[in-house]
Structure 1
């Protein structure tokens, strides 16, 4: 996409070249969006006072949630930085849960992991307004279901359009 003439790049600019080069990589998901996706046992990269799951790990409490043993159905809104792929890969290895990630199907993350592995992808209608953000996200978002059970729950949310049984051809 070409930048419209006369615009300059800022941290909030959707044309900023690297959407992950932000000062803050912890964006708190609106709880109604999380609740629409069902109940979760664990959020391995949560925030203090933000109850997205029965058990919420924060960096302040456990350090790196990637290195801890995951359990149950996982809610994942990973840090939107360079480690996002590690978090999403770990969720697929775990086998049960839903991830909220930037919708970027042209990226390596999507091409090599999300598209071939997801049970269901829900393209969120509109832009997510994170709890701690002044404006809605500057990118579209998608909810990624790992298991068939997670896919069935996503299909019933009414949050956007869902696509199942994704077939990827190289």
Structure 2
């Protein structure tokens, strides 16, 4: 799933690695400065002010500002979430695979909060058409940075927001 086609992609789902984030979900999260794994141009809607797409390598590129990251799904997801954790300012979208080593390391140990979506979103094809089925698994939005936790809380998206306990103690 992921906004772009990446050299890190695993087996394509439904013949493609390109699955666009639903525009209404993005609108609820506010404006982003960078999408390092953006869908190829032309894209039907922007995901950020700046887009990095193939052949450029978004993992190797310089990141600045508030980042949106819908990485390619599969084992390569963890490299993107590691980079998000190191950057510390943005929101990522991933499968809610809470039991995996990658989730433990790059989400539970590093993110400020997670929003488990109540329903599986319907992604979109590169031309903007909504895909027929939903994501095929539970989705979580992962916030790095307290302002991004605030954005998740204010988004109005149905689900359960879980904040890091350490963050809650610091705020008290």
1:44 lines up with 2:36 in the alignment: yes
SS at match of 1:151: helix
In the alignment, what sits opposite 1:143? 141
Distance 1:117 1:27 in 2: 26
Length, aligned pairs only: 146
Equivalence map 1:97-112=2 (5 Å):
97-112=90-105
Whole-angstrom CA distance in 2 between matches of 1:103 and 1:25: 19
1:90-149 C-alpha deviation (Å, 9 max, x unpaired): 011111000010011011111122111110100112011001233111101000000011
- The reply to whether residue 155 of structure 1 matches residue 147 of structure 2 is no
TM-score, with structure 2 as normaliser = 0.80
TM-score w.r.t. the length of structure 1 is 0.81
Where do 5+ consecutive residues of structure 2 fail to align?
A: 1-9, 126-130, 167-172
Gaps of 5+ in 1: 1-19
C-alpha root-mean-square deviation of aligned residues, in Å? 1.5
Larger Cα-atom Rg? 1
Q: Aligned residue for 2:52?
A: 57
